[in-house]
Each structure stands twice: as C-alpha cells, then as structure tokens.
Amino acid sequence: MTENLHERDGRSVLRMERVLKHPREKVWRAMVEPERLAEWFPGTVALDLRTGGAVTFDQGGDGSTGTITDLEPPHLIAYTWGTDHLRWELHPDGEGTRLVLEHTFDDRAGAASFGAGWHTCIVALDLALDGRAGADPGVDDIALHERFVTQFGLDAGTVEDGADGWRVRHERQLTRPTDGVWAALTELAPPDATAHDHVLEHAAEEGGYVRWELVQGTGHGARLVLLHTGTGDHTPALAADRSRIAQLLDRLEAGPTGR
C-alpha cells in the first residue's frame, strides 16, 4: 500500500493506493452493498445509490449523514461524511483491481489516525474479499499511527514570529486515552509546574514558557497541543519540545500509566 498526505484548496488530502487480487466488479459490490460494507467499513452504512443520494453512517450510535457527489459504476463512488469527503476509485490491474482512496478533511493533525484507520479497513476489505470477513487484520495500530506521524511530517512543529517574540506549536494526535496521558504528563512535569483541567504550564530551561493542553481529537485518543513562547532564538525551544514529546511517548509506551 502507498500513502501520501498533501494539500488542496487549503484542505488536507490523504491518498492511499492498494492492489487487490479480485476483479473490479467484486470489489465494487463491497463498496456499495450494505451487507458487504459491514464486513470492512468503520460502521454501518446505508446508501441511496444515485448522484445526490443520501448516505447514512452509524458508528456506535453516531447517525451522521452525507451525500453522494460522484457515481460511475463500477469505477468511482464519492460522498461526503460530515465535512469530510471520501473518493473511492477502482482501476483494472491485470486480473485484479487497483483501489485508490482520497480522503479530504480539515484536521491535519488527525491524518495519522485517519491513515492508520483506513489502512486497517482496507486490509479487512481484502480479507472479506478472500472470504475471511472478521479475521484479525494483524495490524499494530499504535506503531502504524506513529509511522504515519513521521511519514506525513506531523511531528515537525510550527514557529510563528511576532512583535513580542516567537511561538513554537506542536499539535499531536495520541493513541492513548486522556486520563493515561494526563497521568504520564504530570509525572514528568518539573517541580515548578502548575496543572489544572488538563492544562499544565511551566518555565523551560532553554528559555520561555511551555503550556501543555489535552483537547478533543479524532476520538482515538487524546489530542496534545504544546505551546512554547519566548524571545530570541527559537531553535533550542523547537528541539527541546520535540524531545519533551518523545519523552512523553516513551513514558506512555512503558506503561502502566498509558495502558
């Protein structure tokens, strides 16, 4: 499978490709028939199979809706899911099919979660096409998520310069629940830190002030937002903050706090 993340019209686009050994017509049925979709898609889906038709999604009681924007059987189906857009293309590839997914969304920091989730779903689709629906896809979700974080450059951080100094910002979707992340974060905090309501603040040895906050993310774990403000050269802060996040991830991996 190949994956990349790019930007189009100010939005993030995750593109994934995989070659399946099954003919396009068989894969198409798995894309549009509710009983086949249920074998691999993340939730129950009902489609009014026409351009402009409604799509209803149910993920554990979440009854969100969308609209079919493109429909060219058995080559293309695309639809909205809330504010996101999913485009599935099926191309003949010898006796098999080349599947192309483009997922367009606004939450760039969630790209690794989306990538890991769709990777697992497409593996489940492949198993279902083989007649093994429900078999363990054998995916290490956490390792895959972190690989996508690195591959997509989601660990780089950003720097903004202003009249009063600079601001280094990191936003990272995590794979652990909020309570576990908060426990690990407070354990690692320096003695002078103040902590309340999932916000932790402290002075930084290299200069400036660091603010950690856990907020709502993709739903697959806590979302970490780290802000570091200061004056002068921001380079030491950017490197130090990456190290801080790496230390937090190591602590979560070690458990039991992060389990």
- pLDDT given at position 93: 97
Q: Tell me the residue type at 197.
A: D
- Side by side, the strands of the sheet bearing 96-105 are 2-8, 11-20, 96-105, 84-93, 76-81, 65-72, 54-58, 44-47
Tens-place pLDDT, residues 89-136: 999 999 999 999 999 999 999 999 999 999 999 999 999 999 999 999
Tens-place pLDDT, residues 17-42: 999 999 999 999 999 999 999 999 99
Mean pLDDT of the chain: 95
pTM above 0.75, yes or no: yes
Check for a shared fold between 2-151 and 158-254: yes
Domain assignments of the chain as residue spans, ordered by start: 2-151, 158-254
- pLDDT given at position 255: 77
Tens-place pLDDT, residues 182-232: 999 999 999 999 999 999 999 999 999 999 999 999 877 999 999 999 999
SS3 state at 125: helix
Its CATH class, for the domain covering 158-254, is alpha beta
The DSSP 8-state label assigned to residue 82 in this structure reads: T
CATH level 3 topology of 2-151: Alpha-D-Glucose-1,6-Bisphosphate; Chain A, domain 4 (3.30.530)
Q: Is the pLDDT of residue 56 over 90?
A: yes
